[in-house]
Structure formats: structure tokens, C-alpha cells
Amino acid sequence: MTDRQNIEAATDMTEQSAEVVILGAGPAGLVLGNLLHRAGIDCVVLERADRDRLHARARAGFLAANTVRVLDRHGLADGLHRRGKPHADCEFRTGDGRFRLDYAHLGRGERHTVYPQQHLVADLLASYLDAGGRLRFGTEAHRVLDTDGDRPTVEATGPDGRPVRWRARYVAGCDGRHGAARRSLAPGAVVHHHDHGLSWLGLLAEAPPSLDAVGYAVHERGFAGHMARTAHITRYYLQCDRGTPPDAWSEDHIWHELEVRMRAAEYGPLHRGSVVQRTVVDLECDVVEPLRHGALLLVGDAASLITPSAAKGANLAVLEAELLAAALVDDLTHHDGRALADYSDRCLEHIWRAQEFSNWMVRLLHAVPTPRGGPSSFDEGLRRARLAALRTSRAQQDWFAENYVGL
């Protein structure tokens, strides 16, 4: 029997309840859980992975200035202040040379904090559990029912394989693009989707960073990216053909491509090390409208998928979680539903602006393929013009800095 058949066939399904059921223990779900629990809202987080897997999930590591402010505001930033590293430089390498932007002195004068997402998740998780928050590991949500009523229901399978039903006042879908929240959307939901037709081979290497900046290499063989994570771990990206398996390239081939595309012969060798993680990322994006469907509210990747080209995903998730927490507290504690009614519109304003900049970054860094397969000479000319403007125009640099760090 499938999990769904088990649920439907069970006659002894366990029933539990909370005012707010949160699906997913990523940054969005854990920030939301921490803020609701501290406000005295009865909530529970349902997470399909176990705790070890949650700690090991390596994702984005660039926290925007606003994200740090949100975490500071709620006493959730101790770990990132102890172990995070301020970062404010990016370097572009092209066939026309290289140039560097110190974006902390451009735009609004803001910088990133480099703090691996698995460390942030570990901090948020410890804060939530230490305060007595409820979290169910190994619990997979399958669907959300009755979202247009007063008591929606989440049907799930617990860690023992037995079905469980959670009743709530609200359900917060923080479980990503393929989670139960998205699968449970009513037919009236609109999902705007765009596929850039590009893919990256994402790599985590046990190697010190090779430059003290985020590196963006634009090369005729394809894009390459360098992002420091810690003193001993570096994230790399390599543009690859759509459909390339993660293990298709040997380590020697990977390092050769990185050195060629990042022009190591001109600008200095890369520090090599073992490649400990590989994944292929298709550069796709989508936005759900609206983000509220009765008692079901979408947050983070469940609300919108964004390419990693500008490191916006986790930052949007934290911003949205704070907005939703305040709105739910107003509704459940003060019986004021105005902020909850505005939640979708407020978030979508930030989401679309982040999507626009992410799209701009994709077109800055890649020769975007045409329907016939190769890039057009016109688009390639536009890309070179964008890079030239970014290299020479202070106004363009200020615009870049404001959008690169901001939301």
C-alpha cells in the first residue's frame, strides 16, 4: 500500500491538534515556529527528515543585512555573530578582464554575512526546542484538507509509519516546491513559472577559498562561480548541459573546468580539495499567487522558487516568516485579521523584486540559449553591455549593490 492508501484505509488514525501547524523545518518554518512559540501561540513543526539529516543539509550561506536584522530583533542571531563572516566583495572575470565591486561602499552601504544554512538551521532548531517548542521529526505531510474552513487538517505519516491527522486553525506551508502545501492548493491558485534553460553543477569542496570575494566567471565554455563557506569549505558552480548527471564529471575534469573558466592561469591558481557534495540545479523560477488560500499560507520555497544566482531564497524565507508570524499573532491573540489579509500582497512585492534581480543576474552571467539551442548574437551583445556598465558606471554599481544585498 502507498502512504496515501494507508491513511485512507486506517481506522485508528491518531489525531492531534495545534493552533498553527507548520510544514517543514527549514529557515522559514523554524523562524516562524520560534516567533509563534515565544508569543504563546500553540504550534507544531512537522519535518519529514530526522535531526541529523536536517543538520547536514548544506544550502545557501549568504545572509542579507535585513535577514540579520530580523534574527537580531528576535534574539536568534547569536550563532551567526559568533561564527559568521562579514562579506562585501564580488569579482567578475570576463574575456575583457576582471573587476571587483566593494558593495559595502555602494548603494545603501550594506553587506552580507556568510553563514552556512545548516548552521543557521541548527541554531534555530536548538532555540525552538530549548524553549519547549513542539517538533515532529520523521513525519511526512501528504495533504492539507478543508483549507477553506475554520479547522484545516493535515494528513501525514509519523516516524513509526502510522498515519496521523493534525487539526489546526492555520497551516503554514514551509515545505518547499514539492511539498504537501503546494500539492493541496485549490484550482484557483496561479503558479507563474519560467525555465531559463540553463543548469549548474553545484559543488561543495573541502578546500580553502581561492579568493576573498564571491567570484563570477563569464566564459565561452560556460559560467563558473566561487563562493566561500568557511575557512576550509568552498562552494563552486559550473554551468553544464541540461540533463547532466551529478557524477558525470570526474574530479580532475571539474577542477580543470573551474581553472579554465575562472582563468586561473591569469589570476592565480585555485586551492584544490575533495569534492564532497554534488547536485545539479536547473535554473527555474516560479511564484504562486496568492500566498494565502483560506487557512493555508505559503512561505519560503513553497511560495516562490528563485534561482541561486543572487542568493535570495533563504533571505526571502526569513522575511516572509517574520511577516506571517506577526500577522498570525495579531489574528489569534488580538483578533485583528488585517495583517493576515495583507500578508500575500506584502510578500509578493518583495518576491517579484527579488525575481527581477535574479533574472537580471542570470542574463548577466550566461549566454541564454534560444529555442534553437545556441545564444543569439544580440543577447550576447546585451550581456557584454551589462558587464561594461557594471564595470564603469557608479550609478549602475549603486543599483547593483542595493539589489544584490537588499530585498
Residue 154 placed within a domain = yes
Residues of the chain with pLDDT under 70: 1-13, 58-60, 369-374
Q: Which residues 6+ apart lie within 8 Å of 363 measured at CB? A: 379, 382, 383, 386
Length, in residues, of the chain: 407
Residue 80 placed within a domain = yes
User: Strand order of the sheet with strand 190-206?
Assistant: 97-102, 89-94, 214-217, 224-228, 234-240, 190-206, 274-289, 304-305
Residue 203 placed within a domain = no
The pLDDT assigned to 1 comes to: 37
Residue 48 placed within a domain = yes
The pLDDT assigned to 11 comes to: 43
Residue 265 placed within a domain = no
Residue 204 placed within a domain = no
Q: Which domain holds residue 66?
A: 3-87+113-192+285-359
Q: Exposed, middle or buried: residue 166 (CB in 10 Å: 0-12, 13-18, 19+)?
A: buried
Out of 27, 37, 87, 112, the active site residue is 87
Question: Cell numbers of 242, please?
Answer: 541540461
In the chain, what are the helix, strand and coil shares in percent, each to the nearest 5?
40, 30, 35
Q: How many domains does the chain have?
A: 1
Out of 103, 115, 128, 404, the active site residue is 404
Q: Which residues 6+ apart lie within 8 Å of 215 measured at CB? A: 90, 91, 93, 224, 225, 226, 227, 262
- Which amino acid would we find at residue 181? A
Nearest CA among 329, 377, 350, 296 for reference residue 35: 329
Q: Which residues 6+ apart lie within 8 Å of 97 measured at CB? A: none
- Which amino acid would we find at residue 134? R
* CA–CA gap between residue 92 and residue 263 (Å, rounded): 11
Distance of CA 90 to the CA centre of its chain: 20
Contact between 177 and 289 under an 8 Å Cβ cutoff? The reply is no
Per DSSP, the three-state class of 336 is: coil
Contact between 263 and 238 under an 8 Å Cβ cutoff? The reply is no
Out of 103, 170, 216, 343, the active site residue is 216
- In this structure, what CATH number is given to the domain that contains residue 172? 3.50.50.60
Nearest CA among 119, 121, 122 for reference residue 174: 121
Residue 163 placed within a domain = yes
Per the annotation, the verdict on 236 as an active-site residue is no
The pLDDT assigned to 150 comes to: 87
Per the annotation, the verdict on 312 as an active-site residue is yes
Nearest CA among 223, 346, 359 for reference residue 285: 359
Out of 308, 343, 350, 366, the active site residue is 308
Per the annotation, the verdict on 128 as an active-site residue is no
Contact between 344 and 338 under an 8 Å Cβ cutoff? The reply is no
Nearest CA among 52, 27, 25 for reference residue 134: 25
Residue 27 placed within a domain = yes
The pLDDT assigned to 400 comes to: 97
Out of 112, 119, 293, 312, the active site residue is 312
